[in-house]
Amino acid sequence: MKKLLIKSFALVAFSLFLTGCGEKENTASTVAEKAKSFEWKLVTSWPKNFPGLGMGPEKFAQYVDEMSGGRLTVKVYGSGELVPGFEVFDAVSQGTAQMGHSGAYYWKGKMPAAPIFSAIPFGMTATEFNAWLHYGGGLVLWQELYQPFGVVPMAGGNSGAQFAGWFKKEINSIEDLKGLKMRIPGLGGEVLKRAGAIPVTLTGGEIFSSLQSGAIDASEWVGPYNDLAFGFHQVAEYYYSSVWHETGTTLEFLVNEKALKALPKDLQKIVEIAARAVNEDMLDEYNARNNNALKDLVEKHQVKLRQFPPEVMKALKGYSEEVIAEQAQNDESFAKIWSSYSEFLQSMREYNDLTLKEYYKNR
């Protein structure tokens, strides 16, 4: 019995020793992991430090650095500094940069369904889209769409409802759009093509010179806050406020999947939360600054503010429905995502008609 007890005590002691060693190893592993630092590159489709759009990535980098205690640092590159603005997606997919910041409608050549995650003509507002994305299944569909490219998407800001844009001539009928060369991306460009216009894809930095030279006759960009910064009032006389093509434009953070998985779990969460913070912050800023910028354009720079006639809006709405129906018919992913999007939109429409619509009327 005495020998048995001694053996038992020895086994227990040995087990405790091994457990202690394991705990020390795990603790050492955790400490080593948290001591490791990471440096990322983030490429964008915007000019460096451009107000609103361009400041989103800068704020993201700041938030990540502060929350991680410097363990993850992100260097932001403006359009053309490391890669051209329209090559952001490829740069992230290929690992040239660990992250990107852009707009999903720029990738419709790769994925016809991508524009749904940026802007749909006569679609959701910013708050409606965020609700669908984070609580209506939209984000999962977005991730599924980008997964074959090794890219993880996250909402990265919203400009809110965008103006129809700048025009060198008045638009009094749908006929006035025929032959018009206009900078406009995504499905909005497809809709204008139906109306007889000629859509042109340009980065933000190319718009002013193209309007000035006559290479284009009109351009949409964002709204008063950004448009004033670019000085479009110097090269186009008419500013149309009619919201139709980008009713709540979502921007995106693109993250290389392998780079994200290589981070410790806490840093992965910091990336996610920082992106979510920028998504809300950008919308807040646009809402706060757009009206003052519009007053400046109209009162100081004598911009001629206009709205499209009802017949033009009706025609654009009809063309939009045609374009979306064809996209859904021709692409399985588009059909699947559009089904979820449109169902959520209808639900939001019904609820907002009972609440906000009546409130705005009564206010």
Fold match between 37-157+248-287 and 165-247+292-330? Answer: yes
d(CA 78, CA 183): 21
For the chain, what are the domain ranges?
37-157+248-287, 165-247+292-330
User: Residues near 293 by Cβ (< 8 Å), separated by ≥ 6?
Assistant: 223, 224, 225, 227, 228
Read off φ and ψ for residue 52, nearest 5 degrees. Answer: 75, -95
**The amino acid at 28:** A
User: What pLDDT shows up at residue 204?
Assistant: 87
What are 334's two structure tokens? 């588009």
User: What pLDDT shows up at residue 24?
Assistant: 54
> Among residues 110, 78, 118, which one has the least CA distance to residue 97?
78
User: What pLDDT shows up at residue 352?
Assistant: 96
* Residue ranges in the chain modelled with pLDDT below 70: 1-34
User: What pLDDT shows up at residue 193?
Assistant: 97
pLDDT in tens, 242-259: 999 999 999 999 999 999
User: What pLDDT shows up at residue 5?
Assistant: 47
User: What pLDDT shows up at residue 308?
Assistant: 98
Domain 165-247+292-330, CATH homologous superfamily name and number: Periplasmic binding protein-like II (3.40.190.10)
pLDDT in tens, 188-200: 999 999 999 999 9
The CATH code belonging to domain 37-157+248-287 is 3.40.190.170
Q: What is the DSSP string of 198-257?
A: EEE---HHHHHHHHHHTS-SEE--S-HHHHHHHTGGGT-SEEE----S-SSPEEEEEEEH
User: What pLDDT shows up at residue 1?
Assistant: 46
